Chains A and B, each alone.
Chain A
Amino acid sequence: MSTGTLWAVVLVGSLGCYLLKLAGLSVPAAWVERPWVTRVVEFVPAALLAALVAVQAATSGPDLVVDGRLVGLAVAAVALALRAPFIVVLVLAGAAGALVHVVTG
């Protein structure tokens, strides 16, 4: 992707996200506080974040792959289950990914 396209993505995405914020402060509450809207908003993040976890951890282009990222993800899950702080989770996941790279690379 060219630098110009990347800038367009950054700026258009930022403008859109800002307008979504501004809309909340500006539109009548009744427009947004409908049952189906609140249902969608409540559950979209879980679907989207889980999809991103899967794609970031186990795909490369059109291929499904198993590498250090999946090992890092497993380590992160264990750390999260043990209530580790965010930064510890990331450091452990990164260390696991690096270790797999060194061992297999």
Chain B
Amino acid sequence: MLGTLTLLLSCQLAGELTARLLHLPVPGPVLGMVLLFVGLLVRGGVPEPLQETAGGILRHLSLLFVPAGVGVMAHLNRLQDEALPIAAALLGSTLIGVALTAWVMSILSRRGPDAETGNGENSVGEDAP
């Protein structure tokens, strides 16, 4: 747990430093993810502790968005004044984005050898993402 946390933070730190030194417009944590990914490729497997800690953090990923979400308080005036355009833009663009991305991907990968692996019509129920 402790070792894994150190590893994750080191990757993030390396990512932040790389982005700053090379003036990349990419955020440090994303570079850190790429770094860890390459590391796993080189090593050829996920160590058990890393699997556990990463799984633990990712299970509660949505908790981490709560503090920024409460920032809604600071913008109540603007949100009220422009309620209709903001609501319509967020709702419309999000649904368009999810649907279009998934649709294009499913059309293009339909011919793949295992496009439907383990995902027959029945498996997509109430609880599908």
Whether A associates with B in a native complex is: no
Q: Residues on A close to B: CB < 8 A? A: none
Q: Residues on B close to A: CB < 8 A? A: none
